Amino acid sequence: MRALLVAGLCLSAAVVFFSAAGGAEPTAPPASPNRLVVHEWGTFTSFSGSDGVPVGFQPNNSDLPDFVYRQEDPGSKVNLLRARGTVSLETPVIYLYADRETRASVRVVFPKGWITEWYPFAALPPKLDETQSIRWDVRALTGRTVAFPQGRESDVYFHARATNADPLEADVALPNNQQTNALRGATLVQREKFLFYRGVGTFPPPVTLRALGQGRVRVTNPGRGAVGGLVLATVRDKKVGFRTIGELAAGAETVVAIADATGRPADLGDVMVKELTVSGLYPAEARAMVKTWSAAWFGEDGTRLLYLVPRARTDELLPLTVEPRPTEVVRVLVGRHDFLTPEQEVSTDQHLARARAARAELDAAEKELQALGRFSPEARALAEKRHAAISTLRR
């Protein structure tokens, strides 16, 4: 944990020091607000072959700024998703809206997974060997304009700031052996527009599917509640095709045809913003979420199912506790399941066979070259010269 703290502090441009020295009068904590609204959005990704059975995969974890806290191996996201998990929990963010400056304690539990990244500083960070949970103790700086840490423009993390949520401030507690003389007697804080976390899950997705071939997909809802906002999308060369399925009742299934990728990504983006807004997010929050994930949802080639996770399932997967008790809580998770069609699997098998044959031929040629012994490098160089001369004559 020590390395995580140092990385999170040194690289954050929004770390602020407040001197505790002097004779200033202690201030009373902010009063509990009459109105405290908590909104959360996030997504998780799974992947399978045509049979729809999720498998571990390589996550894209290069889109986070350096100041974000991360678990180190063996608890890193890459390691866990390859070895133990099948679901990538991606960028849940929690916003607070209060009618006055207030303190709040926010706790998230992940009983079927691991929390692998977070920001800002957590009063109780996740521990790999225990039931996964995280707790932030923050101040909602209602009505204030503050500076936030910066990073690469390509980091999708920053799109989530484009809302009217209150800035949040977290005190950073450092052990004495990590404090320099300059830090002693001071309070270190981090500020952000939201509470952020990511993770790896082991739970089955709320919706299952099977690619039937010839452009058809069977989608099934095995759960106890209806699943809404289902969209089957395909992306090819920056073009998008999609079919809206709408709501699927508990225990129901439907067969959907994969649309040709001939449309604009913005059209599907508009559909997603509408679905998210209807689910309770503020319009700015919905737009921020779609902008955060537009490159992944509408830019990566492939075929995928998008859907809204039922609120009851969200609360089951990620129990949330906030003190003081909020007057309103909205939580919207979007599930994403990428899959291969039977035709893609046949093509993949053929390409893999070609690659193996080429590798075998290459290995055999390399073995013959090595048989030349210590003169092998020079023999290769002479052969390269002869090939270059022949190529020149053929031009």
pLDDT at position 34: 86
Nearest to 231 by CA among 337, 340, 86: 337
Nearest alpha carbon to residue 149 among 6, 8, 13, 15: 13
For 97-134, write each residue's pLDDT tens digit.
Answer: 999 999 999 999 999 999 999 999 999 999 877 789 99
What residue spans of 11-92 are helical by DSSP H? 77-83
Predicted local distance difference test score (pLDDT) of residue 4: 43
Strands 69-70 and 113-119: antiparallel
Which helix or strand (DSSP H or E) is residue 278 part of? Answer: helix 265-278
Calpha distance 194→314 (Å, rounded): 19
**Residue 153's pLDDT is what?**
81
Predicted confidence at residue 179, as pLDDT, reads: 56
| Rounded CA separation 73/79 (Å) | 7
Q: In what order do the strands lie in the sheet with 328-339?
A: 69-70, 113-119, 195-201, 87-98, 36-48, 328-339, 302-308, 227-236, 239-248
Question: Given this model, what pLDDT does residue 199 score?
Answer: 96
Place of tokens 């001197």: 19
Q: At which residue do the structure tokens 């009742």 appear?
A: 249
pLDDT of residue 186: 66
Those residues of the chain that have pLDDT short of 50 are 1-28
Bridge partners of 18? 187
C-alpha distances in angstroms, 147 versus 15, 169, 385? Answer: 9, 11, 61
pLDDT of residue 125: 94
Q: What is the pLDDT of residue 40?
A: 98
Closest CA to 123 of 195, 40, 209: 195
Cα(116)–Cα(83) distance, rounded to whole angstroms? 14
Question: 351: how many CB neighbours lie within 10 A of its CB?
Answer: 10
Number of H helices, E strands in the chain: 7, 18
User: Cα dist. 241→49, 258, 259, 295, 307 in Å?
Assistant: 20, 8, 5, 15, 16
Q: Which DSSP string corresponds to 149-201? A: ----TT-GGGGGG-S-PPPEEEEE---GGG--TTTTTEEEEEEESSEEEEEEE
Cα–Cα distance, 114 to 216 (Å, whole number)? 35
DSSP notation for 75-107: SSHHHHHHHT-SEEEEEEEEEEEESS-EEEEEE
* CA angle, residues 45, 51, 54, in degrees to nearest 5: 30
